Structure formats: C-alpha cells, structure tokens
Structure 1
C-alpha cells in the first residue's frame, strides 16, 4: 500500500520543477529581447519637459502672487492712512517742523533720508534708528512721500515723537513741480527704492543648484534728485523703509570715503556680468559686485561736482515702451561705477524678506537689518522667525492702529 504523504510530496516537487523551468524560459526570452533605449530615453525626456514646464508655471504664478501681495497695501494699512488723512484736516496739528526748521538745513546734524509711501514702515525704521542713537537730539529725518500719503505722514509724525529726534515730511511732488530739472509728469511722481527678483544660472554649482534667485534693491529715480532736494547738506545716510536699525550709526559720519560718492554694502554673490539680460549697456566691468540700497552713505557735494544726476538722466532709455521701473535697475546699478565705497558687511544683514536660512547670530550682530524681498515684516506672509525684530520698534498706544486692527 503506497504512502499518500510520499506521493503528495513527489507531486509537489514535480510541480515546482515545472514552474522553475517556465521561469527560466521566461528569463531567457527576456534576455533575448532588445531593449529600445532610445524610445525609453525619449519618453523620459518628455516626462521631464512636462514636469519642468509645470514647475516653471507654478514658480511664475507664485512669484506673481507674492509680488501682488507686496505691492497691494493691506486693508489695515489703507485704513490707517485714510484715518490719519481725515484727522489731519479735522484737527490743528502742532507745527513742530516750524520750530525745528533750522535743524533741517544745518549740516552739523546727522541727517537721514527716506523715500516712502508706507506710514507704519517709515515710522518703525525711524523709531529703531532714534532708539539706538547715542544722541537722538542730533538726529534729523527727512521723509519724502507723495501727495496721496503726505497728509497721513504729516499727521502721524506730528502726533508721535521719537525721543529727541526731529522728522521733516516733504511732498516730493510739490517740489518736483517747481523744479526745472524734472520735465515729464511721470518723473514728478515719487520713485522710491526698486526691488528686482533676478534669476540666473550659476555654472560653478552642481546641476541641481545652478539656478539662483536673488532680490536686488537699487535706488529709484527720486533718489537722483537728492542734491536738489537737500541743497544745504553734504553727507546724508539714506535708509529704506524696510530697514531696522539695531545699533548706533553715528560713526558713519566719520568715514573717510576719499573720492567716492556712495557708501554701500556690496554683494559679490551676484556680478554685473550675470545681469546682462537686464543691463543692455556694454561699458561696465562684468566682474564688479552688485551694490545694495538699504543703508547708504551719500556725499552730496561730490555728487553735485560730478553731475551724476545729469548722467543718470541721459542714460535713461528713450524707448517709451520700457517702463521707468525697469529702467531703474541698469541706471541705478551703473550710475555710481567706480564711485562705490564698500561698507563692511557687518553694517547690514540683508535677505530677511526671502531667505529662511539666516542665523540668529548673524542677525543680532548686524548694525541694521534689511527686509529686502517680497515677505515684508508688516505683511501676513512675512517670515515668522524675523518678525519680532521689526515688531520690537512698532509704535505702541496709537489709537488709529487699534481702530484699524493693526497689532
């Protein structure tokens, strides 16, 4: 009598052997097939192109939305500006400027200049500068704004004080209408600092990291009116309204800049040669580092002697299809060729409006912080880790801020 267990085992081995033979046959057939590498490569390239196109679309869309968020005044800020404007015409403001008019023209004081449409941003920059000045009574701020924001600015700085510092608000459009040097209606308007998001290929990096994006801030066209706006002054320090000052800046008035016109922090992560797509002129040193606005020391007397404003006006493109804003990048970068006095990098830590990787150590050792980029500290989309440095100097106890829900 046969053993059923043995029989079952033999059948199982036979079945396994058959399956193994079929598998080996399948493997041999696969080995004998020629793989169409070119077809596979073509398909993969198509997938890569589609993915890159989609990524490029989303990058452009993201950049547009961020830019829109920056350029559009938040509802709360619009409310503040409107309330201040209405209040200006309803009340009699204390005329502090008339009492301090002599200081505004005295070169013995420390004169700071700002071009701004943003009341809250300008006041925060001024507050930080005054609070960290060793002698705030020697500090004078010249704030240039436009007609739309002049009354709000005027009333705000009449209502609020910044230790012993003095603030002078000027409607630049009124000044420009009286100036023979400003001809076109477009040039009469306020043109503050311009920021440009530039992307270029850095071949020194690995392939995945070759595409590089930076935010470059340069003088707007209104900056080139400074010698005429402040005829009695020589050295001034220009601050952007997205700056926060953390240390005393009075030593900037003791710098020996030689024959240079402007002191600026240079950024050698970008060279002029990498911006050929933005700068049509060929007469420049391609290896020169880009310089940033934000905190700049200006020698107005040398500026006047060299006629830089006239050279700037002549370099503006005649093509009416090119906007004044786009013209600001090449003219702003090239106007001071060979006239830049490089400030030490410790004066300004830039990038707080787009770079998530700045260390706390670098932030706290800098004399000033520059929120260049799209994520400004007064916007909801600001980088959270950097907001506290800006909020520290916001004006507190201002009823219009509370009424407009600005916290």
Structure 2
C-alpha cells in the first residue's frame, strides 16, 4: 500500500501526493473524453486526424508515465505493472514521433490499438490506486478512532482513581466529628496506657496488622472478624495510622468498643522511633519530596521491627470483610517460607512481568518475568522466617535501587512485595481469599459465599457511591449504625 502507514509525516506527504495525482488524472481523463467527443464531430480531413491521433498518443503516454512513476513507489509486486506502463508509454511516444501526413493511414490503426490498450491500463491502474487510497483513508480513520478511545480510557481510569483515592465528603465529615468530640471531652477518651496490655504481645494469640487512615473501614474489618471468630477474645488487631487520624480512631473505639471482647491496639507512625530517614529509605525518600511513596502502605515491610515479640502476623487490607474464622491461618504450614498469599497468575495473567520493569538489567538478573504474582489483602507472615532471611534489608536495597522509580511505580506497594518475597511465598488455598469485588461485577455467588475473606480491591470501594450494588450489602451489614456521627454525616447505608 502506498505510504504504508502509521500516520507519520512522510506517509501523510505520500498520501497527499497520491491524492493530488489521482485528481489530476481524473481531470486528464475528462479532458480525454471531451477531446474524443470533439474529434467525432470534426471534419474527416487528414491533417485534423493527424493532430488528433498525435494529441491522444502524447496525452496517454504522459498519463502512463505518471502511473509508472507512482507504481515505482509501490512494492516489488507491482514491478510488472510498472514495466507495462513504461512499455506502452514508450510505444505511444514512438508512434507519435513517426506520425506524418504520408504515414497517417498506415499508422492510424496501430496507434488507436495502442491508445485503447493504454486506456485499459490507465483505467485499471486508476481503480487500483483509488482502492489503495480508500484503504489508506480507512486505516487513518481507524487509527484516529483508536487514539480517541485510548484517550477516553485513560481519562476514565484517571477519574476512577481520583474517585477511589479521594476522601469522600461523608468520611471527611466523620473524621472531623470524631476529632471535635475528642477536643470537647479529652478526659473521657484516654490515651493508651504506658505499659501495653499483655494481650498485645502474647504470641499465643491471633495477631492481625492493619495499616489505614479510614476509621469506618477498619471498624468493619474488626467487627466482621470478631463475629466470624469462634474465640473472639483471642484475636488482637494492631491498627497503624497517620498521627493526625489517631485521635479519631481513639474516639471511635472508645464510643464503640470492639465487639465480643476482641482486642484493638491503636498506633501511629510516630510510635516507632526506628522509622527515621537514617534507617529507612522510605522515610528518606518521602522527606526528600517523593510524594508518590504512600507511607502507610510501605510500613508493612517493618512488621518484625514493629512487633518484635510476635512470631506470626496476618496482614489485612482495610477493604476486606471477614466471613469465616481466621484462626486456621495460624495452622497453615508455610514450609519455611516467609509469606503465604493468594496467587493471581491464572494462565498468563498477572505474572511478575506485568508489575516490574524487566528492561532493567538488575531486574533481569534477579527475577523471572514468568514467575507467578500474588495479591495483598490477606497475607500470613512468619516473622521468625522474615528475620532469618533478612527481608527488611532486602526491601531497603530494592527501595534504594528504585529511588528514581524505574523498576516499578512507587505508588504501588505490590511490586516491592513481589521482589522482596521472591521465591519465599507459599500459595494460599483460594477459599481463603476471594478478590475483585471492587472491579469485577461477575464473581460467582458461590465463590463469595464460600470465601473466608472477600476483598473489595479496585476503585469501586464499598463506602463509595460507585460501589457495585450486588456486593455493597456484604460490607454495610457490619457497619455500626448506632454511631450517631454516621447519621450526621449523611452516610447512605
């Protein structure tokens, strides 16, 4: 196809030239027809016939020479067509030079035969070039529509991310109400005691870690897990949040204590003195102005340092709902591995190559792009194996390597986890963790019903107006509607 195209400048110039050529040829063809009509009505004298034949021969020779020039630009498959154009054009030029008054009768028949063949070739070539031009125009249209669709998808993705990442007005109102209650009656909401209760450090209990600044979402996780537990008093939740949100969490759990004797420890980043710029590349990068690094998300890589007395911790995201007793996770054999998680590589889907930049030589040397990826949401961590394998130190090395964001997108914590626990993750049975309720409207009801944990990962969080209606009730039934601030903040529950 002439021009061959991807929409480049050179291709556009060739297409413009071809269009101009076709236009000129159409005008020339019209002139030929008009001249032929005029010839029919002219006197049948030898000089007039001589002039007409010479003019037709010269004109058709020029037409075929132009087509030959255009045919040279086509692929090698058109070489024979090019030769035909040049051959007939040459014959016509030769005949035109040989025509005279004395030879007009002899050469008229031969000349008209050549002209007839030239017209047939020109007509076929014009049809071919017109078809190629139409195909090129159609290709350009398809390309333009594809680009518009791509821009629309990007805009939609950006809008959904903004909607999911922004704090809804109702949640902001809830936090403000809780902080106002704390300021109005600080003595009624005491801080944690200087010496933590023994349950917080007892390795014989079931310990969970949640990193979040969403007080409502955390309350749902705790409430759903407590109601699903056979022994709720043996379950301990360690909630780590930003310092500015800690008072709001204290007010919530002071007014609405954890149900059924479940224990909740509320912590802020400032409660861990080892989290400083000299010891943590995460803190240093944030202090250096890298706003793409979400601190709360990356704190999960410090679990052994945060909870030195514990041997095993289950990490829960704040967008999950617990439907079955999770005590069985403490009996899962990790086989010496550090992490247990749900694998997500169904077929060729979601392998390491999807999350990490394998064009970097350092990544190519250490990791396999076909390795199976896994998901956060529900993870079992053996902290003793973590300390043994020095996973925090490995994470620090990766963060140093990714300071300019070339290995993975620093806004996403999953790639860092995939690399930190590479070859050190054991797959969990799928019945423990069903994910996708925040983006997939077609999950089988039996899969949701049989899952120990359902995960609203995706942009359609259950506390947002854009949540799927068929899933939202699975989350809202654990919301403590007796908290008066929910009504004041217009939660549509």
Structure 1 unaligned blocks of 5 or more = 1-30, 196-218
The 3-state SS of whatever aligns with 1:220 is helix
Contact 2:168 2:464 in 1 (8 A): yes
Residues in 1 aligned to 2:409 and 2:184: alpha-carbon distance in whole angstroms:
37
Residues in 2 aligned to 1:290 and 1:356: alpha-carbon distance in whole angstroms:
23
Equivalenced residue count is 351
Alpha-carbon deviation of 1:100?
6.5
Identify the match of residue 329 of structure 2 among 252, 266, 271. 252
Q: Which has the higher contact order (CA 8 A, sep 6+)?
A: 1
**1:34 and 2:117 correspond:** no
Residues in 2 aligned to 1:158 and 1:241: alpha-carbon distance in whole angstroms:
20
Change (3 A) 1:398 1:221: same
Alpha-carbon deviation of 1:332?
1.9
1:151 aligned partner: 247
The 3-state SS of whatever aligns with 1:400 is helix
2:370 aligned partner: 287
Residues in 2 aligned to 1:134 and 1:279: alpha-carbon distance in whole angstroms:
49
What does 1:59-138 align with in structure 2 at a 5 Å threshold? 59-91=153-185, 92-93=187-188, 95=190, 97-98=192-193, 101-138=197-234
What does 1:5-404 align with in structure 2 at a 5 Å threshold? 34-35=127-128, 36-91=130-185, 92-93=187-188, 95=190, 97-98=192-193, 101-161=197-257, 162-176=259-273, 181-182=279-280, 184-186=283-285, 220-268=297-345, 269-277=349-357, 280=360, 281-282=363-364, 283-318=366-401, 320-322=403-405, 325-326=410-411, 328-404=413-489
Contact 1:111 1:142 in 2 (8 A): yes
Contact 1:273 1:287 in 2 (8 A): yes
After superposition, the C-alpha distances for 1:227-258 in whole angstroms (9 at most, x for unaligned) are 11111101111100000011111111111212
After superposition, the C-alpha distances for 1:34-61 in whole angstroms (9 at most, x for unaligned) are 3532112101111111110110011000
Residues in 1 aligned to 2:235 and 2:268: alpha-carbon distance in whole angstroms:
21
Residues in 2 aligned to 1:105 and 1:135: alpha-carbon distance in whole angstroms:
18
The 3-state SS of whatever aligns with 2:244 is helix
Change (3 A) 1:319 1:237: closer
Alpha-carbon deviation of 1:301?
1.0
Residues in 2 aligned to 1:358 and 1:171: alpha-carbon distance in whole angstroms:
36
TM-score (norm 1): 0.80
Structure 2 unaligned blocks of 5 or more = 1-122
After superposition, the C-alpha distances for 1:330-375 in whole angstroms (9 at most, x for unaligned) are 3221100111011001111101111111121211111110111111
TM-score (norm 2): 0.67
Alpha-carbon deviation of 1:395?
1.0
Q: Which one has the largest radius of gyration?
A: 2
Q: Name which of structure 1's ranges 265-274 and 245-254 shifts more when overlaid on structure 2.
A: 265-274
Q: Name which of structure 1's ranges 103-112 and 275-284 shifts more when overlaid on structure 2.
A: 275-284
Residues in 2 aligned to 1:261 and 1:94: alpha-carbon distance in whole angstroms:
38
After superposition, the C-alpha distances for 1:153-192 in whole angstroms (9 at most, x for unaligned) are 1211122122210101001134246666336455589x9x
Alpha-carbon deviation of 1:315?
1.3
Residues in 1 aligned to 2:359 and 2:332: alpha-carbon distance in whole angstroms:
31
Alpha-carbon deviation of 1:317?
3.8
- Computed over aligned residues only, the root mean square deviation of the Cα atoms, in angstroms, reads 2.6
Change (3 A) 1:186 1:167: farther
Pick the structure with more helix per residue.
2
Contact 2:394 2:420 in 1 (8 A): yes
Contact 1:176 1:182 in 2 (8 A): no
Residues in 2 aligned to 1:261 and 1:227: alpha-carbon distance in whole angstroms:
11
After superposition, the C-alpha distances for 1:124-166 in whole angstroms (9 at most, x for unaligned) are 1111111100110111100000012111012111221222101
Q: Name which of structure 1's ranges 40-49 and 89-98 shifts more when overlaid on structure 2.
A: 89-98
